[in-house]
Chain A
């Protein structure tokens, strides 16, 4: 009886597994196919692209790259530099100050602790767009309009990062360690910087990656804040390219610019994918 059940189960399971792999293959194809075309077309010249799609890479990669970098209307190099500055600072500030805030609420008891935590949780998912109008008016008044600082300074208050840090501390930071440091005569601030931060390093790294990528990809606010050509970030340049007269455009250049915009993130992702995927699962509220 048992063997019979097993073989039937095995056969049915095999068919099921087969269908599962087919669907997975289709999904993977969908995820990768568009990027495949992108990379292939970035290696073709404008005329080759106009003639029709070819599956084989061409030889115009360096030419396209040179054309993009030399285009005076799209300052790509300064765009990448600006994006790096904004994303790097955003990651640094949001991770450090969120850890600080999370530690403040995790490690100390004070009167408004619960209220502070509840406020952060309430605003956690609030879209930043709701205050965008007031924000643009405010930075105009205080002289931060058209500066990169206006793009990264507000990230000191990053509720999602805070929440992740607090979760992480609850399961990975025993208060005994903090108390031992106090007995050894460490100051509170010193304890945080030298003892707590190294312990929560994995959480810092995961969140640094996510906030960096988020800032790198952000388009809405930078487009409202930045006016000068030399301060534009990469997404603004993409939008600029989109609104340019498309019929006159060199398609090789278009594909190359899109490649430049997404390739750094893709490479970083492929190197750190295990780490990142685990981070997503951890960020999933609670286990």
Chain B
């Protein structure tokens, strides 16, 4: 083994330039289409810079004025909306997904037709969110199929105006987000649960643990990293919530802008070409996302045993040689 290890070491020196060549396109495109735009977005967030009719005002440096304006006017409301809409979809999602993951991996009570269930519950994730929202809009319109069905069953005496009521609009957005994401979360959590050493469950069973205890005392602690990953990535996804409320409410967030999310607000500024304000909204979004990204980063580069990926690789190498 040793001569080969030596050889690969020698090679690694002469091949180094290939490493740079192979990763160059990625970093070049990243710099041009993401990094430079991000820097210019941050830069313009400190300027008065918008279009009024055909005239372009600015850019005039105004310091933090855009931010002050954001936080004293609409942004807190839209942040609240975004968080609330996310929670309405996420809480049922994580509860159902954990439940399904536990059931699908339950060795004692085997469920049949798992392949079918997984196929069906993952399906909504692939549906175009804007088309899904358009479908909900049509189905829940005042004389749409849902009202028509409920009337014919005699459940209601007159059509419900789903799209004009605060809580029905919120519930619809939440329901759509739930339907689109619970299948995905279930499959991720299932993979995590199946990664748990089955010997632990066998030992627990011998010790007389109930399945309830096994779930809370073995499964939950051991799938914690993936659970954190799921929660944080879902938060980042929630921050980006746009297609569903935008199409459902035609960009208005109606009634009374309760369904206007941060990205819808950003989108409005972009369309009215208010670059200063759009920049400031983006920076706020960037700061929140950066914090969440750091959490994801630490989860992904740390293994369950507390070692970093690099350390683990080192161990693997040593193990391979031995």
Contacts and interface: CB of A to CB of B under 8 A. Distances in A.
Partners in one complex: yes
B23 A243 contact: no
Interface string B128-154: 111110111111010101001101100
A168 interface: no
Nearest to B176: A34
Interface string B264-275: 001100110001
Contact of B23 (A105, A109, A251, A286): A105
Given A125-B293, A130-B286, A281 B188 contact: yes
Given A122-B297, A133-B278, A157 B41 contact: no
A100 B26 CA distance: 9
B127 A265 contact: yes
A113 B32 CA distance: 21
B46 interface: no
Contacts of A274: 115, 119
B190 A281 contact: yes
Given A241-B134, A265-B126, A266-B123, A98 B44 contact: no
Interface stretch (B7-15, B74-82, B213-221): B7-15
Name the residue in A21, A241, A254, A286 with the highest tally of chain B Cβ atoms < 10 Å from its Cβ. Answer: A286
Name the residue in B30, B141, B149 with the highest tally of chain A Cβ atoms < 10 Å from its Cβ. Answer: B30
B155 interface: no
Contact of A101 (B15, B22, B271): B22
Interface in A179-220: 179, 182, 188, 192, 213, 216-217, 219-220
Q: Is the interface of B mostly helix, strand, loop or mixed?
A: helix
Contact of B148 (A13, A52, A123, A213): A52
A49 B138 CA distance: 11
Contacts of B99: 23
B113 to A, nearest CB: 8
A50 B142 CA distance: 11
B68 interface: no
B84 interface: no
Interface string A264-287: 011001100110110011111111
Contacts of B247: 219, 238-239, 242
Contacts of A136: 270
Nearest to B248: A242
Contact of A280 (B115, B132, B184, B286): B184
Contacts of B278: 133
A108 to B, nearest CB: 3
A100 B296 contact: no
Contacts of B123: 31-32, 266, 269
B88 interface: no
Given A130-B41, A217-B129, A285-B226, A243 B251 contact: yes
Q: Is the interface of A mostly helix, strand, loop or mixed?
A: helix
A135 B11 CA distance: 40
A124 B42 CA distance: 20
Nearest to B137: A242
B37 A113 contact: no
B297 A255 contact: no
Interface string A235-247: 1001101110010
Interface of B: 4, 7-8, 11-13, 15-23, 25-27, 29-30, 32-41, 44, 96, 99-100, 103, 108-109, 111, 115, 117-124, 126-132, 134-139, 141, 143, 145, 148-149, 151-152, 179, 182-184, 187-188, 190-192, 194-195, 225-226, 229, 232-233, 236, 239-240, 242-243, 246-247, 250-251, 263, 266-267, 270-271, 275, 278-279, 282-283, 285-286, 289-290, 292-294, 296-297, 299-301, 303, 310
- The 8 A-B residue pairs with the shortest CB-CB distance, nearest first, are A104-B22, A134-B37, A108-B19, A109-B12, A157-B30, A53-B145, A154-B33, A134-B40
Interface of A: 13, 16-17, 20-21, 23-24, 27-28, 30-32, 34, 37-38, 41, 49-50, 52-53, 97-98, 100-101, 103-105, 107-114, 116, 118, 120-138, 153-154, 156-157, 162-163, 175, 179, 182, 188, 192, 213, 216-217, 219-220, 223-224, 234-235, 238-239, 241-243, 246, 251, 254-255, 258, 261-262, 265-266, 269-270, 273-274, 276-277, 280-287
Given A130-B282, A132-B270, A137-B275, 20 more contacts: A16-B109, A31-B121, A31-B123, A38-B135, A109-B19, A110-B17, A124-B300, A126-B286, A129-B240, A130-B286, A131-B35, A134-B41, A154-B29, A154-B33, A163-B300, A265-B127, A265-B128, A273-B122, A282-B191, A285-B226
